[in-house]
Amino acid sequence: MKLSRRLIPDVTTLQAFECAARHGSFTQAANELNLTQSAVSRQIKDLEEQLGVLLFERVRQRVVLSEDGRRFLPEVRKLLHQTEETMLRAMSAARSDHSLTIATLPTFGSRWLTPRLPAFLAQYPGTVINVASRSAPFDFDEESFDLAIHYGQPVWARASCSYLCSEVILPAASPELLQQWQLEEPKDLESAPLMHLATRPKLWAQWFEMNGGATETAYRGHRFDQFSMVIEAAVAGLGFALLPRYLIEQELASGRLAVVFDRPMQTDNSYYLVVPEGKLENSLSQAFRAWIGTQVD
């Protein structure tokens, strides 16, 4: 697709706009960017002329974003962030013959994938790995990843999904909390402090239903939006949590967490390795896919 150069603004102009919007001042923006106030003012004026809209309004010796400016600002920040990421990835791989860019779920990446990467790099020395967290499917055309690790169903636009592993969760808690409650059977947890992953609020209700408990009280308790937060809260003794065993291997081994009841439950979804259609033949990506398959049970 041929791009229209007339519609592509200079990055420095976008930086001037973002900086002025953040400070509410052309003068402070100029100080941060090491420019003169008149230079920043000229860049903003050129951008307004290119867009055909007024981006700032003057109010009591300050500049404030107009309605059009408020709509434009998030897109500018996103573009600047993507530009910086692109440059950093290129620089990190500049001295390497091979690089691999992976998108992964945050807790899966930090607790399961990262500790295993040395084994992969030992097999493929000289490889540079770039790992970024993504919690939901994205457009591979807009974000340049070689592959992604996805939890859910094997559905991703313009990409191929291959099964990696299922997810099995079980109740866990700190040893101190277990001593306080003296639980004898699963239904005893109905009155205990529960903790939830905000994106999967029905897990406790499903577990109680599977283990003969009541579901009426299964939704109460603390909520966290990442498994990593739930794990740390469980270690701190805030409550009982349903956690994937593979994410708490270290805590179980060290005794910081203990299994409450050995009643595992397989969740409805699974983990998949996702590769964009245009990178299916990438040799390093193929090697990683073969290697990671050997790391799961």
> Half-sphere exposure of residue 235, counting CA atoms within 13 Å on the CB side?
16
23 and 83 share one domain: yes
What's the domain range around 183?
168-267
- Give the ranges where 201-282 is alpha helix by DSSP (H): 203-210, 227-235, 249-254
121 and 156 share one domain: yes
The residue ranges of DSSP E strands in 105-209, in sequence order, are: 127-133, 147-152, 159-173, 194-197
End-to-end CA distance of the chain: 44
Q: What is the CATH number of the domain that holds 251?
A: 3.40.190.10
Q: Which two tokens stand for residue 240?
A: 């009982």
DSSP state of 191: G
- Tens digit of pLDDT per residue, the chain (297 long)? 455 566 677 889 999 999 999 999 999 999 999 999 999 999 999 999 989 999 999 887 788 999 999 999 999 998 888 888 777 766 655 554 588 999 999 999 999 999 999 999 999 998 999 999 999 999 998 888 999 999 999 999 999 999 999 999 999 999 999 999 989 999 999 999 999 999 999 999 999 999 988 888 899 999 999 999 999 999 999 999 999 999 999 999 999 999 999 999 999 999 999 999 989 988 999 999 999 999 997
Q: What pTM does this model have?
A: 0.70
Q: Cα angle at 222 between 208 and 207, to 5 degrees?
A: 15
What is the per-residue pLDDT for 86?
76
Which is it for the CA torsion 29, 32, 33, 39, positive or negative? positive
Q: Is residue 54 part of a domain?
A: yes
What is the per-residue pLDDT for 202?
94
Q: Is residue 1 part of a domain?
A: no
234 and 104 share one domain: no
Residue 60's contacts (CB-CB under 8 Å, 6 or more residues apart) are none
59 and 202 share one domain: no
What is the per-residue pLDDT for 8?
76
88 and 52 share one domain: yes
Q: How far apart are CA 38 and CA 48, in angstroms?
A: 15
DSSP state of 272: E
Give me the number of domains the chain comprises.
3
Q: What is the CATH number of the domain that holds 40?
A: 1.10.10.10
Q: Is residue 4 part of a domain?
A: no
155 and 278 share one domain: yes
Q: Is the Cβ–Cβ distance between 190 and 217 less than 8 Å?
A: yes
Q: How far apart are CA 126 and CA 95, in angstroms?
A: 9
